[in-house]
Chain A
Amino acid sequence: MRSVFRTTIIFVGAMCLQWWWNTHLAYWGAGPQFLLVLTVLVAARRGTVTAMLAGFVWGLYLDVARAELFGASALTLTLIAYGVGVVRRQVDLRAAGPLATMTFIITWAAFLCHGLIGLIFKKSFEWSGPVVIIATPFLNAGAIAVASLLWEIGGER
């Protein structure tokens, strides 16, 4: 019961945090992608299936705010969760260093995935802008280090 409650809090809290940061603290469109970061963290800590399901719904939440390409973020986060699950078998992702490096690379992979989805379904590459492309991986790497620490403090598996 307690675990379900915690999971619900993390699930809804992540969406709230992402909305709040995007609305009030993002500069030039750059800000940590908390939902991507948490998808990676959940995949590394709780397994691929849970991360894929959470990532899919979180992706739909991000897609609702977009005018087009409904499903792009859902697909991207699902693939990211799966990819982390695959890497998890080879690399110890419980340590903060590998996790941050993994997130750094995955962020660019996510941008690329988004761009390609746009190219396929909208006939134009989805380009987020140089500031976002450059700053976001660093912000995400920092965010996952903090999130990992909080995860440990919170006593999550």
Chain B
Amino acid sequence: MQRETRIANYVLGVLSTLALLLLSLPLSTPVRSLKAAMGYVLDPLSYHGEAGYARLAGAPERIRRLLEADIENERLHAELRRNEWLTTTVSSLSLENERLRRALALKIPGVRSPVWAHVLERDPVHWYRSVVVDAGSDRGISLNDPVLGPRNGKLVAAGRVVDVRPNTSTVLLLTDEGASVAAYLSLGTLEGLVQGQDGPNLRMNYLNAEVQLSTGDLVYTSPTSSTFPPDVLIGHVARVNPRDPFLAFQSVEVSPAADASSLQELIVLRSSAPAHAKLAASLETAP
């Protein structure tokens, strides 16, 4: 015990002297060097500690997102299984349709392959005119390809491709003043021409002047449309314009199903296969 006490006294003396020296000479070079050295050694503790804490603090959120992703993955798997059956049914119907068209000597429409594209930019001055998407000729996009947009799980008409670059394309929206598409009204199958007005709504012209029109009627692309596949939803009748006694037709205001102001992703129906697919096909067929 005596020895331990003596050692403790010595250590106390040494450490106290050292501490008093540090306190007495705060601006001297050795003290400042020691402080700098201590900071150099101990600063990583708080630096890496904070980084580790930030990582751990974000862990519950990441785990929650992981669990949500897992649940969504399960749901999508189930949906995919259901869709496999749907795809089989559709392809079977498509084959039957083609066989019947051949039997009736009708023109067989060209096969289109869809490709998803993200909206890259839009002209803020002309909001309803066009958007640029991140798919170009590299993905088989060609001029006048129809473009659809998702709306409540369904695909609706959005516009057509008017400019194709290697990696991007410009899509002229239906709401643009220069855009038009042949369409029909679901009730009565009245044919007309839907035209953009550089605003949120469209205008459907050339409707039979004698027919009684009503709001809420759905507007679909016509089989006579040269750009769009038939029966794609365009929108619904928002207002019936008063009849003009000097015109032989009447018109309606159409509220588009694809909201031009909130388009994020679009689907382009390619009329041609992508270049690399063509190349692969040519290689496969080569002797």
Q: Is A60 an interface residue (CB 8 A)?
A: yes
Residues on A with C-beta less than 8 A from B126 are: none
Write the chain A residue with the least CB distance to B48: A16
Complex CA–CA separation, A15 to B21 (angstroms): 24
Q: Is B42 an interface residue (CB 8 A)?
A: yes
Q: Is A56 an interface residue (CB 8 A)?
A: yes
Q: Is B179 an interface residue (CB 8 A)?
A: no
B24 touches A121 (CB 8 A): yes
Interface size band for A: 20 to 34
B38 touches A60 (CB 8 A): yes
Q: Is A123 an interface residue (CB 8 A)?
A: no
Q: How far is the CB of B31 from chain A (nearest CB, A)?
A: 7
Residues on A with C-beta less than 8 A from B20 are: 71, 75
Q: Is A47 an interface residue (CB 8 A)?
A: yes
Known: A48-B8, A82-B12. A70 touches B35 (CB 8 A): yes
Q: How far is the CB of A113 from chain B (nearest CB, A)?
A: 11
A19 touches B46 (CB 8 A): yes
Q: 1/0 per residue A53-94: CB within 8 Å of B?
A: 100100111011000111110110011001001000100000
Write the chain A residue with the least CB distance to B24: A121
Q: Which of B7, B19, B22, B53 has the most CB of A within 10 A?
A: B19
Q: Is A42 an interface residue (CB 8 A)?
A: no
Complex CA–CA separation, A121 to B53 (angstroms): 37
Residues on A with C-beta less than 8 A from B45 are: 12, 15-16, 19
Complex CA–CA separation, A69 to B20 (angstroms): 10
Q: Is B210 an interface residue (CB 8 A)?
A: no
Write the chain B residue with the least CB distance to A121: B23
A-B contact pairs, 26 of them (CB 8 A): A12-B45, A15-B42, A20-B53, A23-B50, A48-B8, A49-B4, A49-B7, A52-B8, A56-B15, A63-B22, A64-B38, A68-B26, A69-B23, A69-B26, A70-B22, A70-B31, A71-B20, A71-B23, A74-B15, A74-B22, A75-B16, A78-B15, A78-B19, A79-B12, A82-B12, A121-B26
